[in-house]
Chains A and B, each alone.
Chain A
Amino acid sequence: MKIKSLVLGTAAAFSVASMAIADRGSDGHVNIIYWQAPSILNPYLSGGTKDVESSSMIIEPLARYNQDGELTPWLVNEIPTVANGGVSADLMSITWKLTPGIKWSDGSALTAHDVVFTGQYCMDPAGGCAQSNKLADVSNIEALDDLTVKVSFSVTKPFPYGPFVGAEQPIIQKAQFADCMGAKAPECTAENFGPIGTGPFVVTDFKANDVISMEANPHYRDASKPAFASVTFKGGGDAAAAARSVLETGEFDYAWNLQIDPTILSQMAEGGKGEVISSFGTAVERLMVNLSNPDPALGDKRSTLEGGPHPFLTDAAVRRALSVAIDRNLLAEVGYGAAGKATCNVVPGPAMYVSTANDECLVQDIAKANNILEAAGWKRGSDGVREKDGVRLSILYQTSTNAVRQDTQALVKQWWSEIGVETELKNISASVFFGGDQSSPDTYQKHFSDIEMYTNLFSGTDPEAYMGSWVCSEMPMPSNNWMGNNMPRYCNPAYDAMAAELATTAAIEDRARIVMAMNDMLMQEGAMIPLIHRGRVSAHSNKLGGVVQNTWDSELWNVADWYRN
């Protein structure tokens, strides 16, 4: 018996091994669908997830995050740390050593000069680089020799893994992009649509906002990879159609970001043609409270600091009652299924950053919410809506147009009506809501509503930049063209001080402590009401193997390892 299982085990091991050493291009063709179509293959000119992820099959960073959120060497042999001397003791510089022998898809060698050029390309102020925040505080990038590059910072950087790490910071080829610096960057269509890269695939044809054709990179560093000879990367449609094309019709092998009703998704998955995969990162669906006054009568001062505080959302009791009245577990079950968990924190991971101080809201308690409001002096009027000093608890609640979000809105509205809060729902097309158009009154930055709902997250595992979103200076307002991430218009000097402290703190335990304190401050002072810790949901065909879902980096991070079952 033992021998038999041993033999079987060996046989299995061999078959796995034989799969792994299959020849490059031996598995034919693979079809990928992203229902938001890529418009460019240069992530330095677009912050869109679809563009970053599609380009990650072609161009690669020095290091990236694996499925567990750990830094993984990619074009280098090891991650520089203080211990191995790669990061200087004063935390002012980091030195990367490239793996020798890596070639671009045109056959030339990858050198440190390409890395230096990539940094200069993104830091050129005329270029409008979308990823320049990753290069914050970089004072100098220099090539010490052909394979060594040193990045120096103007301040101490306890976390120096911003530049050239992750899918947003891939290395581009100096020879190709040399004439595309600064203001000329967006004009280099041929380069932006067909970058030469070190990744497993090469672009053969790019139709913006439609389809990308790729074939295996003949100079890829692993001679046996990728297993696929060619790729069709299709964009467009909607989430439900994308899911259907993988799970029901089998036209495609991989579909991305399937935010659709879990009942529909599981019904599609029952077809047996594919598998739904999800994994949890840092995405949180949250309600952003407006602490400024969105009254249209204020005109230009609407939803700004000058317009004055919000008539009732500045009352902590109201915000707490609103939060306690929500059944997050039900919201997760109805809208997200296995891809959602109730959360009371805006930082839901990695585990060491997660606070437990706000878990009151995990359990819905309508009676308690009513008591909180009653105690705070909000009395029910004749129509059942609570009011105090002539101020009615009437909320305009906006979000983007998506069936799951509208269901969430309907449920929340019902619960709030049970505690005497009147809610008006509004939904705005996602391209307008997230579009950032200065002239539109409906963008999420303008926040011309009392409460708005959307998801945000941070890539990688370090929340420093993310926590910096809610300092006073990040408030969107007319003077900064409504740019900024502080949608609640939250402004507390104590919070700003902690953000500054976090930036210069090195010890990981201290960083975790500060992040938790910042998270708790945001929750307890009611800048936002977190609802769901959302997973990334994608689907792949049963005929596609090797897929490892990754929420910390591009989902296509290991596309070189994909194979045909």
Chain B
Amino acid sequence: MTEELTTKRTSQWKDVWLQFKTHRGAVIGMIVFSIICFLVAFGPWFWTLDPNYIDIRAKNQGPSFLHPMGTDQLGRDTFSNLLAGGRVSLLVGVTAMALSVLFGTLIGVISGFFKRLDGPLMRLTDLFLALPLLPLLLVMIMLFRDTLRGLFGPETGIFILIVSAIGLTSWMPIARIVRGDVLAVKEREFVLAARSLGTHNTQMITRHILPNVMSPIMVSATLSVAAAIITESALSFLGLGFPSDFPTWGRLLYDSTNFMKLSPERVIYPGLAISLTVLSVNYIGDGLRDALDPRIRGR
């Protein structure tokens, strides 16, 4: 009897965690992602070599105690570059994700909830979906780089530009998913009940609709972190994006391709970092989807 009571009292989030734990891939993904985040966030405090410091006498070295991942063609330490690059890549990923989730949810909820706005907003979404992403990014970077650079300085300016460029071009799938769920939730009895009690639209959305569409939003969020990291890598790989002395994983990969035969590990390290991050984040998203779905949970 007591046992039954305690089970009933468990919070919703505990249930989610219990379900999440059963997804082995998701748990491993979370551990790996945590390690990467920890290394990248606190690593530069312990590994204090400046990623941009050139020691030309130590160029093209293999792994050693002084340089655990070797050095590049100018004698810069690969490990500290990887740490510094990870900071930027992860920050870009998380910020761009926040931006695209914000836009996607906003547009998705509005177009799902207000019938009159549905048509125009969904056509806008289609329009954005039809735009070729990479050329659009290139044009945006060319048009706004100088303005933002003048306003915020070279690195912050480019950061804002890249994050908003990625965010503004990746909200569409989220908007569509959220709209679909909102349409379904809107017709449920509890919404009708709330409506008959005189609940306003704002409260209806924040109290009843949003909590019920949280699960697809969370999942899309994790997936778009991965997408943002890959897009940033693609931009850096094309030699656009951040200045050449500003390491990101994509740029490290790009710079290393020429040396692939001479020192293959230089390509493998940033490539592995990108793959591990994206893979672990994807697994976390997969686990979250199962855990957040009450119909799957508990089975």
Contact = CB atoms under 8 A, between A and B. Distances in A.
A413 B245 contact: yes
A414 B243 contact: no
A409 B59 CA distance: 16
A263 B154 contact: no
Contacts of B261: 264, 267
A264 B260 CA distance: 10
B239 interface: yes
* Tier of interface size on chain B: 20 to 34
B259 interface: yes
A485 B167 CA distance: 41
A422 B246 CA distance: 15
A425 B56 contact: no
A429 interface: yes
Interface in B122-166: 142, 146-147, 150, 154
Main SS at interface, chain B? loop
A183 interface: no
Contact of B259 (A264, A296, A330, A448): A264
Interface stretch (A85-93, A140-148, A399-407): A399-407
A433 B54 CA distance: 27
Interface string B236-266: 0001100111000000000100110110000
Given A261-B259, A330-B56, A407 B74 contact: yes
A20 interface: no
B245 A263 contact: no
A441 B146 contact: yes
A406 B244 CA distance: 7
Nearest to A268: B261
A410 B54 contact: yes
Interface residues of A, number: 28
Contacts of B54: 410-411, 414
A296 B74 contact: no
Contacts of B73: 261, 263, 334, 407
Interface string A402-437: 010011011101100000000011110100000000
B60 interface: yes
B142 A264 contact: no
A425 B244 CA distance: 7
Given A260-B258, A264-B258, A414-B54, A425 B146 contact: no
A424 B258 contact: no
A263 B61 CA distance: 13
Nearest to A260: B258
Contacts of A285: none
A440 interface: yes
A409 B146 contact: no
A418 to B, nearest CB: 11
A63 B262 CA distance: 44
Interface of A: 240, 260-261, 263-264, 267, 296-297, 330, 334, 401, 403, 406-407, 409-411, 413-414, 424-427, 429, 440-442, 448
8 contacts: A267-B262, A296-B147, A403-B255, A410-B76, A410-B244, A414-B54, A425-B245, A427-B239
Interface of B: 52-54, 56, 59-60, 73-74, 76, 142, 146-147, 150, 154, 239-240, 243-245, 255, 258-259, 261-262
